[in-house]
């Protein structure tokens, strides 16, 4: 069931920078053509696409969308399929992340955190299913170790990622045998870009058996493995966390 097409196609959400961009570079180096989704990061995404095009011509397509706009998700998928004519992989990477302490959380925050972390991954997966079935493709969802063990002051984010974890198992059940669905639960692989500490970073690393933060490359390598090299794996959420969740 792994993509054996000579130019498999992957759609990656939130692909313009950070972890998404490293996933994009990794899949592209492995021979995937890429639909690179972005919302605000137009410049970064166009620069990324240009650098990938220099390596392999006609191998990228950039697509802008606000993932909270459910009505736009089908159109986005149609544009991707019109460009490439097939889809082998969907990587649900885009995510909003910020604290929502009890007593301050709003419905707008609920909607924003669930939109990118749970709602759009579901409706994009649904829109992608016919093409993925045809290709014998796969979905990888970027979950978080905090879906299982919550991060203090972040209930809505943790709940949204828990919904994504449940979705991973549900869709694996429903989309087989043609489509495999898996998740990755990273620990710390890239600190938030606003520089605000969201936990005691040194204490967190001290509790981690491998005693260091991971890298986006650690995550990207696991995405590639799940998409290409794991034909008997579905419904699994693999922790890429240096062993941090082994101890309480």
Ligand X SMILES: NC(=O)c1ccc[n+]([C@@H]2O[C@H](COP(=O)([O-])OP(=O)(O)OC[C@H]3O[C@@H](n4cnc5c(N)ncnc54)[C@H](OP(=O)(O)O)[C@@H]3O)[C@@H](O)[C@H]2O)c1
Sites of contact with ligand X (CB under 6 A): 14, 16-20, 38-41, 66-68, 93-97, 115-116, 142, 144, 186, 188-190
Are 65 and 40 in contact by the 8 Å Cβ rule? The answer is no
Residue nearest to ligand X (CB): 14
How far lies 55's CA from each of 25, 60, 134, in Å?
11, 11, 28
CB count within 10 Å of CB 146 equals 22
The residue among 35 and 115 lying less far from ligand X, judged by its C-beta, is: 115
Cα 130–Cα 131–Cα 137 angle in degrees, nearest 5: 110
Tell me if residue 157 is catalytic. Answer: yes
From the candidates 32, 146, 157, 198, give the one annotated as an active-site residue.
157
The residue among 160 and 175 lying less far from ligand X, judged by its C-beta, is: 160
Got the DSSP string for 6-75? SS-EEEETT-SSHHHHHHHHHHHHTT-EEEEEESS-HHHHHHHHHHHHHHSTT-EEEEE--TT-HHHHHH
The residue among 115 and 224 lying less far from ligand X, judged by its C-beta, is: 115
Are 209 and 246 in contact by the 8 Å Cβ rule? The answer is yes
Per DSSP, the three-state class of 234 is coil
Q: Considering the complex, what minimum distance in angstroms separates the CB of residue 6 from ligand X? A: 29
Name beta bridge partners: 183: 141, 237
Distance, in Å, from the CA atom of 93 to the CA atom of 84, rounded to the nearest integer, reads 20
Q: Considering the complex, what minimum distance in angstroms separates the CB of residue 53 from ligand X? A: 19
Q: Considering the complex, what minimum distance in angstroms separates the CB of residue 9 from ligand X? A: 20
Q: Considering the complex, what minimum distance in angstroms separates the CB of residue 229 from ligand X? A: 20
The residue among 42 and 173 lying less far from ligand X, judged by its C-beta, is: 42
The residue among 28 and 135 lying less far from ligand X, judged by its C-beta, is: 28
Per DSSP, the three-state class of 181 is strand
Per DSSP, the three-state class of 113 is helix
Q: Considering the complex, what minimum distance in angstroms separates the CB of residue 190 from ligand X? A: 4
Give the active site residues: 157
């Amino acid at each position: 069931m792994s993509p054996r097409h000579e130019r498999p196609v992957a759609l990656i959400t939130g692909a313009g920078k950070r972890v998404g961009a490293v996933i994009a570079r990794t899949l592209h180096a492995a021979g995937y053509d890429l639909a690179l989704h972005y919302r605000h990061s137009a410049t970064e995404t166009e620069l990324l696409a240009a650098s990938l095009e220099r390596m392999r011509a006609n191998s990228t397509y950039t697509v802008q969308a606000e993932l909270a706009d459910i009505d736009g998700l089908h159109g986005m998928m149609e544009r991707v399929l019109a460009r490439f004519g097939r889809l082998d992989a969907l990587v649900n990477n885009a995510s909003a992340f910020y604290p929502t302490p009890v007593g301050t959380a709003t419905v707008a925050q609920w909607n924003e955190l669930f939109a990118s972390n749970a709602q759009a991954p579901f409706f994009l997966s649904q829109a992608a299913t016919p093409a993925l079935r045809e290709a014998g493709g796969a979905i990888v969802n970027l979950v978080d170790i905090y879906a299982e063990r919550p991060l203090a002051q972040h209930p809505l984010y943790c709940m949204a990622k828990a919904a994504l974890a449940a979705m991973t198992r549900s869709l694996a059940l429903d989309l087989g045998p043609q489509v495999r669905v898996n998740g990755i639960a990273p620990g710390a692989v890239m600190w938030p870009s606003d520089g605000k500490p969201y936990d005691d970073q040194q204490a967190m690393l001290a509790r981690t058996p491998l005693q260091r933060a991971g890298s986006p490359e650690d995550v990207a390598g696991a995405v590639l493995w799940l998409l290409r090299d794991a034909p008997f794996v579905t419904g699994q959420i693999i922790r890429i966390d240096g062993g941090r969740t082994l101890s309480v």
